Amino acid sequence: MPRFAANLTMLFTERPFLERFAAARAAGFDAVEFLFPYAWPAEQIKALLDEHQLQLVLHNLPAGDWDAGERGIACHPRRVTEFRDGVAQAIGYAKTLGVTQLNCLIGKTPNDASRLQIDQTVIENLRYAAHELKAHGIRLLIEPINTMDIPGFDLHHTAQALALIDKVGSDNLFLQYDIYHMQRMEGEITATLSQHLPRIAHVQTASNPGRHEPGTGELNDRFVFQHLDAIGYTGWIGCEYKPAANTEDGLGWLKTLTH
């Protein structure tokens, strides 16, 4: 079966962030992911990864003012310099933390630019980031996100993301496929995974509705996980869900859905 990475932004939130690494290891995870490392020195996070023998499989590029509701700046024509500075910062962290792929959140559609300006900005920013990351052996990912959870998010369907990747024209740009987001936007989960597997570098999961533990929603998650294994997906599956109660109490799905 595929390998699962604990998303420390979403799981073990009963503890302060820096204590979640130990909790993930105690729960049996070999790998973790999270949204952003930038509030802490990279060396501090690296020490925790080493202490608990965890692999960090993914984090995001800087995404603007998160607390103010921003969800990425790659589509903002007025913030190209800020975006490029963020690419450099992310590379610095990734090199220290041993991360080999970074996700770029495109952001909410700005209301102070034309569609042409927005599209050109996204393409140029992704082309720049993909080139810079490739020089350090790091893959760039983009992720479609459902517009119910994040109204106005500029990238929200698989086909749209793949068309954008084609326009960028880089061999270092891939799709991050979040099962929860795409179940809400379009369904056809296993067919999409089969059709586009070579372009998918990372998968994330959560149930729908509720974004809780796998196995608690409308999808047959066991079937999806078996399908990923059958089609040859060898990457990690990020557990980016909201525990219905205590994180540890809800981890039984790791056994019941994968054995």
* Active site residues per annotation: 143, 240
Kindly list the distances between the CA atom of residue 161 and the CA atoms of 75, 96, 154, 223, in Å, as whole numbers in the listed order.
13, 29, 10, 25
Q: Which residues make beta-bridge pairs with 60?
A: 103
240 in Cβ contact with 13 (< 8 Å): no
146 in Cβ contact with 156 (< 8 Å): yes
The alpha helices in the chain, defined as continuous H runs, are: 20-26, 42-51, 80-97, 115-134, 158-168, 179-185, 189-196, 221-230, 253-256
2 in Cβ contact with 28 (< 8 Å): no
- For helices 189-196 and 221-230, the axis angle rounded to 10 degrees is 10
CA distance 243 to 88: 33
Type of residue numbered 20: R
